């Protein structure tokens, strides 16, 4: 790559970031880091009607949680991120003063024109066309019959503007041209300009539309590659024409595939998440629970999102962020939609949970415990328990179910197991076991196992008569890891008490 890589993620702050948006940000980030470039966050807030309070901060928090922070972007009171470099500001609302000049350049060059058509008159045209089975397009076809500066005298245009009439500035799409478009993922495309409409670029309220603002900003911010969702592919023809009209160098484009529903057709929506019970947002937003709050690790989210539309060309599925940066390429992004698989996201989380150092899991485990009324400061003890139960867990929130008996003695014993395991002579055996355990000072798993097994073989008991009832009285159920690991973690006193109590209750 010869030119300096500068890419931008350009969300509109109209609500929380959908995971599709996070993936767009991630691919931009990976591409930037791979090429030692710059990852920019630009807030596209020109449409004040759709502005949602808190959405911008949410976007920043989500990127930071995923560990994909921007290098340049809006300054925020809540973030340590800078940065108003010479390319800023990074909120389009703060760049408002810039855009009019560029709309005027297009007017001067004859590449754009004023239009005064009211919404009502445009609606009437649309309806009229529909009735005739046609589609109304504002372009070469009919622009001279409409209310604009191409169809009226310059004095009238000047008068209307001077009198404060609402207007828009439209792009003048040249007829009969074949536009050649290039997309890194989709290859070459050709479009006949006759099918394009004259898009609105600027409005008399002083605000540019997305199209003008994003092209001007991409140019001024020296964006080298525009990496964005497939839904913007239909805008590419206009954007290319705008670059040509200004005489600017065009960045390279890459339009990412849609993320599809887990089942059926169509793109993944918030409803799918609600129906099937998985998050669609990185962080919680109002009543929608996010990946973070659901207990996912950011490494898992980043890993599954990276593979949702990109593949490394090998069977490898597990990637750290560093590996992704090293491997990522836009050429390996697929054209077709990528099906979202909620089970796979869990699989990733399970993997990253297993990878995580047990000591680092303690704080989250403590939260789970305190939700269940258990407070313990003994971190070494918690670390031991984590080591015993973790392999069965996908989330730290699974830990309570897997470990409750370490903290609370069983109040009841699982009925079926009890029937099967508690036989006539079990109390006697448990009594004998009590005396054996009482003599053991070193209550390590290995030592208790050795001593108990020795006693079993001396007495010629069968394992089946001792071990399952022991598990039942300690755990309350037949679940759990190696029983000697459990009693060792519980300690001698608690182990003896549980056995004694069971003998009392069950007789």
445 token code pair = 């798993």
Output helix, strand, coil percentages for the chain, rounded to the nearest 5: 50, 10, 40
270 is catalytic: yes
Cross-strand pairs, 168: 115, 203
Instruction: Find the radius of gyration of the CA atoms of the chain.
Output: 33
How far is the C-alpha of 472 from the C-alpha of 83, rounded, in Å?
Answer: 61
CB of 215 to ligand GLU, least distance (A): 9
Quick one: residue 43, left, alpha or beta (phi over 0 = left, psi -120 to 50 = alpha)?
beta
Chain position whose Cβ is nearest to ligand GLU = 228
Q: For Cα atoms 60, 66, 68, give the angle at the middle one, nearest 5 degrees.
A: 70
Q: Burial, 484: exposed, middle or buried (Cβ in 10 Å; 0-12, 13-18, 19+)?
A: buried
- Between CA 159 and CA 180 the distance in angstroms is 39
**CB of 90 or CB of 210, closer to ligand GLU:** 210
Closer residue to ligand GLU (CB): 198 or 218? 218
Q: Which is nearer to ligand GLU, 214 or 241 (CB)?
A: 214
By the 10 Å C-beta count (0-12 exposed, 13-18 middle, 19+ buried), 64 is classed as middle
Q: How far is the CB of 261 from ligand GLU (least distance, A)?
A: 20
Of residues 26 and 369, the one with the C-beta less far from ligand GLU: 26
Quote the longest CA-to-CA distance of the chain.
113
Rounded to the nearest whole angstrom, what is the least distance from the CB of residue 57 to ligand GLU in the complex? 17
Q: Rounded CA gap, 497 and 367, in Å? A: 27
Q: Which residues bind ligand GLU (CB under 6 A)?
A: 10-12, 44, 210, 214, 228, 232
Give the integer Cα–Cα distance in Å for 38 and 6: 5
For residue 204, the minimal CB distance to ligand GLU (Å) is 22
Smallest separation (angstroms) from ligand GLU to the CB of 1: 20
Q: In Å, how far are 279, 284, 288 from 17, measured between CA atoms? A: 12, 10, 12
> CB of residue 10 vs ligand GLU: minimum separation in angstroms?
4
Q: Which is nearer to ligand GLU, 44 or 485 (CB)?
A: 44
**382 phi-psi bin (left φ>0, alpha ψ -120 to 50, beta other):** alpha
Query: Is residue 16 a contact partner of residue 55, using CB atoms and an 8 Å limit?
Result: yes
Q: Which is nearer to ligand GLU, 212 or 396 (CB)?
A: 212
Q: 96, 100, 270, 344: which one is catalytic?
A: 270
Q: Which tokens go with 293? A: 């709050």
**Of 168 and 213, CB closest to ligand GLU:** 213
- As measured in angstroms, the least distance from the Cβ of 122 to ligand GLU is 24
Helices 55-65 + 19-34 axis angle, to 10: 50
Is residue 183 a contact partner of residue 212, using CB atoms and an 8 Å limit?
Answer: no
Q: Indicate the angle between helix axes 483-490 and 399-407, nearest 10 degrees.
A: 60
User: Where do the DSSP E strands lie in 105-160?
Assistant: 112-115
Q: Would you call 144 exposed, middle or buried from its count of C-beta atoms within 10 A (0-12, 13-18, 19+)?
A: exposed
Least distance from ligand GLU to the Cβ atom of residue 166, Å: 24
**Is the CB of 6 or the CB of 471 nearer to ligand GLU?**
6
Based on CB atoms, which residue is closest to ligand GLU, 30 or 393?
A: 30
Q: How far is the CB of 210 from ligand GLU (least distance, A)?
A: 6
Q: Which residues are catalytic?
A: 270
């Amino acid at each position: 790559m010869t030119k300096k890589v500068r890419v931008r993620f350009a969300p509109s702050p109209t609500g929380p970031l959908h995971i599709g948006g996070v993936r767009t940000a991630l691919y931009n980030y990976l591409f930037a880091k791979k090429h030692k470039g710059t990852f920019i966050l630009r807030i596209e807030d020109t449409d004040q009607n759709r502005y949602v309070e808190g959405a911008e901060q949410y976007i920043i928090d989500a990127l930071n949680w995923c560990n994909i922070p921007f290098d340049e972007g809006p300054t925020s009171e809540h973030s340590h991120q800078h940065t108003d470099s010479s390319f800023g500001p990074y909120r389009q609302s703060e760049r408002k003063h810039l855009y009019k000049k560029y709309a005027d350049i297009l007017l001067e060059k004859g590449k754009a024109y004023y239009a005064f058509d009211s919404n009502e008159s445009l609606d009437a045209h649309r309806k009229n066309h529909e009735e005739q089975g046609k589609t109304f397009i504002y372009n070469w076809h009919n622009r001279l019959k409409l209310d604009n500066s191409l169809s009226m005298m310059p004095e009238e245009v000047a008068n209307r503007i001077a009198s404060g009439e609402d207007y828009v500035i439209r792009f003048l799409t040249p007829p009969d041209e074949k536009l050649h478009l290039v997309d890194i993922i989709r290859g070459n495309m050709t479009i006949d300009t006759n099918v394009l409409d004259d898009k609105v670029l600027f409005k008399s309220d002083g605000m540019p539309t997305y199209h003008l603002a994003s092209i001007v900003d991409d140019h001024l911010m020296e964006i080298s590659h525009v990496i964005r969702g497939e839904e913007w592919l239909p805008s590419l023809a206009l954007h290319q024409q705008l670059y040509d009209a200004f005489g600017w160098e065009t960045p390279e484009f890459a339009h990412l595939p849609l993320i599809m529903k887990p089942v059926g057709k169509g793109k993944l929506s918030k409803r799918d998440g609600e129906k099937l019970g998985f998050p669609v947002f990185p962080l919680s937003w109002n009543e929608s629970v996010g990946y973070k709050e659901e207990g996912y690790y950011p490494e898992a989210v980043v890993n599954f999102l990276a593979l949702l539309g990109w593949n490394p060309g090998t069977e490898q599925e597990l990637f750290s962020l560093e590996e992704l940066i090293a491997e990522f390429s836009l050429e390996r992004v697929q054209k077709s939609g990528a099906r979202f698989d909620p089970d796979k996201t869990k699989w990733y989380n399970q993997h990253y949970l297993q990878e995580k150092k047990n000591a680092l899991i303690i704080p989250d485990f403590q939260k789970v415990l305190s939700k269940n009324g258990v407070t313990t400061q003994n971190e070494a003890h918690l670390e031991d328990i984590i080591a015993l139960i973790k392999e069965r867990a996908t989330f730290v929130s699974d830990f309570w179910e897997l470990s409750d008996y370490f903290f609370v003695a069983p109040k009841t014993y699982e009925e079926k197991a009890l029937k099967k395991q508690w036989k006539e002579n079990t109390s006697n055996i448990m009594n004998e076991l009590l005396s054996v355990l009482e003599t053991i000072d070193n209550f390590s798993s290995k030592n208790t196992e050795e001593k108990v097994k020795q006693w079993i073989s001396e007495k010629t008991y069968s394992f089946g008569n001792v071990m399952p009832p022991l598990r039942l009285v300690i755990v309350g159920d037949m679940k759990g890891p190696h029983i000697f690991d459990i009693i060792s973690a519980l300690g001698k006193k608690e182990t003896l008490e549980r056995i004694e109590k069971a003998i009392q209750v069950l007789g």
